Structure 1
Amino acid sequence: MRETLDFLLHDWLNVQQLNARERFSDHSRETFDAVLDTCERIAREKFAPFNRLVDTEEPRFDGERVHLPQATHDALAAYVGSGMLSAAQDDAHGGMQLPCVVEMAANCFFSKASVAMSGYAMLTNGNANLLMAHGTEAQRRVFAMNEFSGRWFGTMCLSEPQAGSSLSDVATRAEPDGADFEADPLGPRYRLTGHKMWISGGEHEITENIVHLVLAKIPGPDGKPLPGTKGISLFIVPKHLVDIDGQLTGERNDVALAGLNHKLGYRGTTNCLLNFGEGRFTPGGQPGAVGYRVGQPGDGLRCMFHMMNEARIGVGLGAVMLGYAGYEASLDYARQRPQGRPMTAAGKDASQPQRPIIEHADVKRMLLAQKSYVEGGLALALFCARLVDELHTAPPEAADGAKLLLEVLIPIAKSWPSEWGLEANSLAIQVLGGYGYTRDFPVEQYWRDNRLNMIHEGTHGIQALDLLGRKVVMDGGRALMALATRVNDTVQRAAQVPGLSEASNELAAALAAVGSTTKKAWSTGVPEEALANATPYLQAFGHTVLAWIWLDVVLSLEAGAVRTAFSAAPTHDDQRREPSAADRPRREDDFAQGKRAAQRYFFAYELPKIHAWLGVVARRESLTREMQDRWF
């Protein structure tokens, strides 16, 4: 995997170009490599050996505290010690000012080694990043800084037992805590009551405190909850109360664990039902959990989606790495497992030795499918992370373009890897045959862990509605047109390369089909008709995006090819200047041939699927809308 990661970062995404920007000017290829080396080592030594252990020794609640294997504590202590929690933050805040794309690449190793243990850190990082963007100076200093240091971990609390993805039905309430509630130095102080469900990392003793970010409804002018999402605000609700200096006061907040959920996968991450303000604890002698409002009243969803979008890219990357882990395990097995003999015109010769199953065409098909899914998905996730760097550090015009691309790609970055990374895991089990179902091999656990990612941070249906219902039509379709421009650029360059012109034409046709289908879906202007088949649209859109990613990736292997995803700009430092095209011959090594084979597989076996998916969208197939409950 490391060779692919280095190739994507340096030969395709051209991360060296970022070093010419002031924020990243202290970095070089050497510093980026050092970060990757450190994370790869920690993941190999502290996470991977205990992935099965934390799956079988699930978190246990004895009525007072949650028990986790010591390996979880040790692994996360090593992660904290690496500085990765604050890696992208300013030097002044104890960070490394790493580009987002390098930070995410480094975190790949932890997701691949143990996605369950690494989940605590991902949530904490997203929580703290949100506070840096929307919190007050005191909230950033007291809560975010202590999370970046690893002294405290964090969560996000959205779902409720009666309201999963329907946030307008949130029932948790927040009432101002006294007449002077606005005067608290940590932010406007409220008392929260309610229940939150499916809270990953919601209770543990890995750190001395847990910082919950909680969505709750505040009262309107008449004292009653506002309807829909209007009154939803965001609150910092620490497990233990703290003072303005970030020290624990010794008083427990009224946040109580009601129980642990025992899931199909991710078993090493605690998953909790939390009660807020049930009266088990009474901070300050008053009922209700103490919470400090983040941002303005009613601004909760806007603030929370800052974390949600980062989390969606992170979920997609985690799904990719689980798929990658399964791919590598099944590839290793296929190279060692002897079974079957060559078929000749006279039949099989039983006197001949068996051959490794990797020599069978159908096993190669399954391995190629996995390779195309996981390496393509990794490229997609890193491309989106590179866009985040463009958004924050590029000149205004380039930053605006990156924002548009992120708008339309985030639903794909989350949903596509979680579906096709899972399919990769299913194929890995198939390669191992009966052994794939057993705990003697890791592939069954990878599948179980990955199955959750299709639901994490918004189901496929929600991502589909977001894509077709909002992203591709907003601002007159500007985001879709921005993506089409990038795809067409790849199409035009590939058309000039021998061996890629046919793929260029196929991608152009796929893009045209997506565009015409989008218009047909909305041709009546009736949302119910357009969106009934949003999920097939999401699948077709995702496959078209991955075909584009693959074609762009293999273009960077060609003779004289400019690094395609992000072309280099001249800099003042000759050592950072892009080599001339003439300096790069066509790569013909096994690594490059493997990439070309994966691209060919995707275009031959996967891209044709889009036409069936788009068909039901284009004709606004009414079956699912007309189906009656009693007919089931």
Structure 2
Amino acid sequence: MSLRPTLDFLLYEWLAAQTLNERERFADHSRETFDAVLDTCERIAREKYAPFNRTVDTQEPHFDGEKVILPQATHDAHAAFVESGMMAAAQDYDIGGMQLPYTVQAAANAFFGLASVSIGSNMLTSGNANLLMVHGTELQKQVFALNEFSGRWAGTMCLSEPQAGSSLSDVATRAVPDGADFESDPLGPRYRLKGNKMWISAGDHELTENIVHIVLAKIPDAEGRLVPGVKGISLFIVPKKLVDTEGKLTGVRNDVALAGLNHKLGWRGTTNTLLNFGEGKFPVDGQAGAVGYLVGKPGQGLACMFHMMNEARIGVGTAAAMLGLAGYYASLDYAKNRPQGRPVGPSGKDAAKPQVRIIEHADVRRMLLAQKAYCEGAFALELYCAKLVDEQKTGEAASADEARLLLEVLTPIAKSFPSEWCLEANSLAIQIHGGYGYTRDFPVEQYWRDNRLNMIHEGTHGIQAADLLGRKVLMEQGRGLQLLAQRVDDTARRAGDVPALAAHAKALQAAWQQIEAATKQAWATGNPAEALANAVPYMQAFGHTVIAWIWLDVALCALKSDAAQAGSGTLGNVGRIGAMTYFFHYELPKIGAWLQVVERRDPVCAELPEEAF
């Protein structure tokens, strides 16, 4: 089964992405150029990624004492991706970009996630470069970002530390000025960094001639103390190999050493590393300390890094949706071909009759519909968020500001919903395969293993929930939440006028009222500890309501599309209406149980004595 029909429907019929070429930035493009990009990426994914998904899972990266070794297939896939120009697809023409809408770039990158998320689509490199294009100096953009966009260099994000994990306020990596004239270096104020970074994806490899690390560290005060909390965090460019102001390698290795490779449950094709900065293994000018260049102002590092983190969260959500769809397609094919059991008739089962394919069993259909509803709904949300990025960058001032706020509210959902529920889809795909599902004879066990990492990648589930309830729904006096409410209500009102959708429209409005009531009750005492104790159930309910809204909006488009074709419903749209109906009947009612504990500010999890566990 192909992703393309679903992608084309969502991109062109639902989101009308082809109309983006009416904007000056995208005026050179058309539906034809967009399709050409999609065709190219689909072909590369099919030829260079998909056939090697199992290869990169079984041939894990290893360190030979000098360099990290990856399978040749990874090198070939990376080269094909770079040659396609997709690394800089959304960038300006004058720096080698295509000036593609981000919506189209995100859609095209989905093919790589579907084919082999473990090989990847260079999300961190493009995110690293995009951060520098916003917060870097002109020379930092020229030397570092442009070489990343060209594919000559790769990029990482170095946040977590062994002792801190997700608690960035506890970052202990230190950055001290490199000499009295440290501020005069043309690449930016020059510092020496010492510390350890953990869980660094693509932290060391030989795919590119250099790796640009974006590193969070703290600059000590005059007494040599580190400022506690996140306000003292600054951001630095730390290249693996030092370069000059023209982007040429100087031949000097920076003091960044690979301390070890993490052996993961999934995403085994991507190196995941522990890096030591400034341990003295590769001293620069006879001194220990990794050379780093300040990005932005001291103490503003986390604000700069959020630019990359938010982009990565949408990327992780898309990867999770693609893994879910990969499992769905595999289990659908299996269900259509696997004979087992007999149908239940008026008098029970007749053992004398021949076996039927398992897709004829109602419970297997339930599991297939659940996968379709979770994964296609999640993918639609990711594309919706991608279009908000384009609106923020190219829309009129008022519309752009609305897009910014909507993205703030939706980003935790765009990351969390797919990483939880598309993982559940992968579990259902295994279930449909039965015993074969947990063997390596079929790909669904690898999809599950790969997807299990996404609930942790780029901010754990709990962090996303605290961000949503503790910050995003409250920011700017709740204006982002109000804007989302308006869009939900608009969809519900339009659906209410369609007899086939009226009941769903009413259910969506009721669900949103529950969300608003629970939000108020969670903060009724003004005590963050009480409000956030049940942030994850709140986020689960919020996410289900958002996906219900997305599905209802997609269903409106599907019915409109069928009406335009003289009322003859296409099988694709019949499937979309079925998945939407499933979600409203089987999934949306779950929010009541989740929101009950939120509204009561249920204390059992927070207050149970440690010894009682």
Q: TM-score range by the shorter chain?
A: over 0.9
How far apart are the structure 2 equivalents of 1:327 and 1:196? 36
1:460-499 correspondence to structure 2 within 5 Å: 460-499=461-500
Is the aligned partner of 1:630 residue 2:611? Answer: yes
Q: Please tell me the residue identity of whatever aligns with 1:619.
A: R
Is the aligned partner of 1:289 residue 2:270? Answer: no
Q: Deviations over 1:563-597 (max 9, x none)?
A: xxxxxxxxxxxxxxxxxxx9565451111100000
Q: 1:86 aligns with which of 77, 85, 88?
A: 88
Per the alignment, residue 118 of structure 2 pairs with 116
1:237/1:560 CA distance change after superposition, 3 Å: closer
How far apart are the structure 2 equivalents of 1:221 and 1:130? 29
Q: Please tell me the residue identity of whatever aligns with 2:26.
A: F
Shift of 1:196: 0.2
How far apart are the structure 1 equivalents of 2:247 and 2:285? 18
Shift of 1:345: 3.0
Match of 2:242, SS?
strand
Match of 1:168, SS?
helix
Q: Is the 8 A contact 1:100 1:388 kept in 2?
A: yes
Unaligned runs of 5+ in 2: none
Q: Is the 8 A contact 1:181 1:189 kept in 2?
A: yes
Q: Is the 8 A contact 1:388 1:402 kept in 2?
A: yes
How far apart are the structure 2 equivalents of 1:586 and 1:179? 76
Is the aligned partner of 1:604 residue 2:585? Answer: yes
Per the alignment, residue 63 of structure 1 pairs with 65
Q: Deviations over 1:88-141 (max 9, x none)?
A: 00000100001111000000000111111115x111010111011111111110
Match of 1:341, SS?
coil
Q: Is the 8 A contact 2:559 2:573 kept in 1?
A: no
Per the alignment, residue 37 of structure 2 pairs with 35
Is the aligned partner of 1:77 residue 2:79? Answer: yes
Per the alignment, residue 538 of structure 2 pairs with 537
Q: Deviations over 1:449-485 (max 9, x none)?
A: 0000000011110011011111111222111100000
TM-score (normalised: structure 1): 0.95
Match of 2:120, SS?
helix
Q: Please tell me the residue identity of whatever aligns with 2:472.
A: K
Match of 1:348, SS?
coil
Per the alignment, residue 98 of structure 1 pairs with 100
Per the alignment, residue 578 of structure 1 pairs with none
How far apart are the structure 2 equivalents of 1:587 and 1:499? 15
1:63-212 correspondence to structure 2 within 5 Å: 63-118=65-120, 121-212=122-213
Match of 1:283, SS?
coil
Shift of 1:530: 0.8
Is the aligned partner of 1:595 residue 2:576? Answer: yes
How far apart are the structure 2 equivalents of 1:220 and 1:129? 30
How far apart are the structure 2 equivalents of 1:560 and 1:372? 20
Q: Deviations over 1:590-612 (max 9, x none)?
A: 11100000000000000000000
Match of 1:163, SS?
coil
Per the alignment, residue 46 of structure 1 pairs with 48
How far apart are the structure 2 equivalents of 1:112 and 1:594? 20
Q: Is the 8 A contact 1:158 1:167 kept in 2?
A: yes
Per the alignment, residue 325 of structure 1 pairs with 326
Shift of 1:83: 0.4
1:559/1:238 CA distance change after superposition, 3 Å: closer
Q: Is the 8 A contact 2:21 2:29 kept in 1?
A: yes
Match of 1:293, SS?
strand
Q: Is the 8 A contact 1:155 1:200 kept in 2?
A: yes
Q: Is the 8 A contact 2:203 2:271 kept in 1?
A: yes
Per the alignment, residue 572 of structure 1 pairs with none
Per the alignment, residue 427 of structure 2 pairs with 426
How far apart are the structure 2 equivalents of 1:395 and 1:149? 31
1:592/1:235 CA distance change after superposition, 3 Å: same
Shift of 1:348: 2.6
How far apart are the structure 1 equivalents of 2:194 and 2:8? 49
How far apart are the structure 1 equivalents of 2:610 and 2:224? 40
Match of 1:519, SS?
helix
Q: Is the 8 A contact 2:495 2:502 kept in 1?
A: yes
Q: Please tell me the residue identity of whatever aligns with 1:6.
A: D
Q: Please tell me the residue identity of whatever aligns with 2:169.
A: S
Q: Is the 8 A contact 1:337 1:357 kept in 2?
A: yes
Number of aligned residue pairs: 611
Match of 1:520, SS?
helix
Q: Please tell me the residue identity of whatever aligns with 2:572.
A: F
Q: Please tell me the residue identity of whatever aligns with 1:526.
A: N
How far apart are the structure 2 equivalents of 1:547 and 1:348? 37
How far apart are the structure 2 equivalents of 1:18 and 1:587? 29
Match of 2:90, SS?
coil
Q: Deviations over 1:514-569 (max 9, x none)?
A: 001111111111111111000000000000000000000010122489xxxxxxxx
Q: Deviations over 1:478-512 (max 9, x none)?
A: 11100000000001000000110000000000000
Q: Is the 8 A contact 1:192 1:291 kept in 2?
A: yes
Per the alignment, residue 570 of structure 1 pairs with none
How far apart are the structure 2 equivalents of 1:161 and 1:362? 45
Per the alignment, residue 573 of structure 1 pairs with none
How far apart are the structure 2 equivalents of 1:587 and 1:603? 24
How far apart are the structure 1 equivalents of 2:353 and 2:610? 59
How far apart are the structure 2 equivalents of 1:477 and 1:518? 10
Per the alignment, residue 11 of structure 2 pairs with 9
Q: Please tell me the residue identity of whatever aligns with 1:606.
A: E
Shift of 1:231: 1.9
Is the aligned partner of 1:334 residue 2:335? Answer: yes
Shift of 1:290: 0.4
Per the alignment, residue 595 of structure 2 pairs with 614
Q: Please tell me the residue identity of whatever aligns with 2:93.
A: D
1:559/1:56 CA distance change after superposition, 3 Å: closer
TM-score (normalised: structure 2): 0.98
Match of 1:191, SS?
strand
Q: Deviations over 1:332-379 (max 9, x none)?
A: 000000011122233333332211100100000000000000100000
Q: 1:20 aligns with which of 15, 19, 22?
A: 22
Q: Please tell me the residue identity of whatever aligns with 2:78.
A: L
Q: Is the 8 A contact 2:278 2:289 kept in 1?
A: yes
How far apart are the structure 2 equivalents of 1:543 and 1:622? 23
How far apart are the structure 1 equivalents of 2:502 and 2:566? 19
Per the alignment, residue 411 of structure 2 pairs with 410
Unaligned runs of 5+ in 1: 562-581
How far apart are the structure 2 equivalents of 1:259 and 1:163? 18
Match of 2:118, SS?
helix
How far apart are the structure 2 equivalents of 1:455 and 1:225? 28
Q: Deviations over 1:401-426 (max 9, x none)?
A: 11111111000000000000100000
How far apart are the structure 2 equivalents of 1:378 and 1:540? 18
Shift of 1:59: 0.4
Query: Which aligned runs of 4 or more in structure 1 are off by greater than 6 angstroms?
Result: none
Q: Please tell me the residue identity of whatever aligns with 1:333.
A: Y
Match of 2:457, SS?
coil
How far apart are the structure 2 equivalents of 1:230 and 1:362? 53
